[in-house]
Amino acid sequence: MSQISASEEVRYGIIGSGMMGIEHIENIKAIDGARVTAIADPHVPSQESAVEAVGGPIEVFGDYNDMVASGACDVLVVVTPNFHHIEVLRDTLGANMPMLLEKPLCTTMEDCKEVLQLAKGRTAPIWMGLEYRYMPPVARLLDVVRSGVLGNTKMIAIREHRFPFLEKVGDWNRFSANTGGTLVEKTCHFFDLMNLIADAKPVEVIASGGQDVNHLDETYDGKQSDILDNAYVIVQYDNGVRAMLDLCMFAEATFNQEEISVVGDLGKAEALIPEDVVRVGIRGEHSFGMVRREVVANNAPYVGHHHGSSYIEHTLFLDCIRNGTTPEVGLEEGMASVAVGVAAHMSIDEGRTVKMSEIL
């Protein structure tokens, strides 16, 4: 693949133009030198929504293979339902085009491993869409951790109390077989953050969860929705760091949707979203109710559904394409985040601690 110069307009093709496909279109529209020139989706209403969102000339395809072969775009953004990722990647990785792939990488570890094998020898970058790293309060929290003021990280806690799963085309996200399960589909973002902050390999996972409130009265073709709506997950890392996830998807009556805390031997930092606040306390300097509080500005031209993080992700991906550099978040990180989710589901299903060696 030849490098795209800074003066060239980069043409994007979107594979899958549902809700998240539109989100990517809106982000790309906000970036100078980038333009969506093609979309591929077999669902006509989704095609129409994408055409409206682009608001200009665009080629529309029912089959993504036809789009890739057409030469209508330079870069692919894969935003299909989770269980389609493996099929799309089997068909498109050989084209050696730059690609941004929405999370999760795939729904099973077998498929993730196959993708890594198929991607060997490629020169075009693949950016994994784990954009929570780039939410401004989270990015600031990461800066605090990296500065060393907290000392050696010991504990990570992430709470997401939020609304139920949104409606998608065909309600594909109501079944674990389609999504990989809630702890793959939804919380791979958080497992990625845990892996990043711990800076170590997860060694074991224990989890408890269930479907207690949401979608209990929903059936599709005679099958009952089986998607988890709440869970606790504890992850142990090989450097002694412990991490915990507290997920509830029937808790939208709350002030902050995400609360992320990191505790080291010298202090604690936490990010609160959408309050967009980072608090830092240092042992011996601060005490209960008396810590540093910083409101983090969000200057993204397009904020969208993810607090501007998708815009930041796209700008970094575009820099990667233009400069020929390695993506900050690639397939390895994508597989690692899925692996913790798979282990958590196994722990819930089998009622035991799961060793990551069983997964990896």
**If DSSP states are collapsed to H, E and C, what string results for the chain?**
CCCCCCCCCEEEEEECCCHHHHHHHHHHHCCCCEEEEEEECCCHHHHHHHHHHHCCCCEEECCHHHHHHHCCCCEEEECCCHHHHHHHHHHHHHHCCCEEEECCCCCCHHHHHHHHHHCCCCCCCEEEECHHHHCHHHHHHHHHHHHCCCCCEEEEEEEEECCCCCCCHHHHHHCHHHHCCHHHHCCHHHHHHHHHHHCCCEEEEEEEEECCCCCCCCEECCEECCCCCEEEEEEEECCCCEEEEEEECCCCCCCCCEEEEEEECCEEEEEEECCCEEEEEEECCEECCECEEEECCCCCCCCHHHCCHHHHHHHHHHHHHHHCCCCCCCHHHHHHHHHHHHHHHHHHHHCCCEEHHHHC
Write the pLDDT tens digit of every residue in 119-159: 999 999 999 999 999 999 999 999 999 999 999 999 999 99
Looking at the chain, the domain(s) classified CATH 3.30.360.10 span 133-302+336-359
This prediction's pTM: 0.96
How much is the average pLDDT of 90-102? 97
Question: Can you say whether the dihedral through the CA atoms of 298, 302, 307, 310 is positive or negative?
Answer: negative
State whether CATH 3.40.50.720 applies to domain 10-130+312-327: yes
What is the identity of the amino acid at 187? T
- Using one digit for the tens of pLDDT, what is the confidence trace for 279-294? 999 999 999 999 999 9
Task: Give, to the nearest 10 degrees, the angle between helix 109-118 and helix 85-92.
Answer: 10
The CATH class for the domain spanning 133-302+336-359 reads: alpha beta
Question: 304: left (phi > 0), else alpha (psi -120 to 50), else beta?
Answer: left
Query: Predicted confidence band at 5 (pLDDT cuts at 50, 70, 90)?
Result: low
Which residues are bridge partners to 277 per DSSP?
272, 295
Residue 143's CB is within 10 A of a number of other CB atoms, namely: 11
**pLDDT above 60 for 1:** no
pLDDT at 6: 64
Range name among 165-169, 231-235, 262-266, 349-353 with the lowest pLDDT average: 165-169
Please give the share of the chain, as a percent, with pLDDT higher than 70.
98
pLDDT confidence of residue 34: 97
What whole-number percentage of the chain has pLDDT above 90? 97
Instruction: Give per-residue pLDDT as tens, 26-75.
Output: 999 999 999 999 999 999 999 999 999 999 999 999 999 999 999 999 99
Residues 347 and 205: beta-carbon distance below 8 Å: yes
* Residue the block writes with tokens 């300097």: 285
- Tens digits of residue pLDDT in 308-325: 999 999 999 999 999 999
Residues of CATH 3.40.50.720 domain(s) within the chain? Answer: 10-130+312-327
Where residue 2 falls among pLDDT bands split at 50, 70, 90?
low
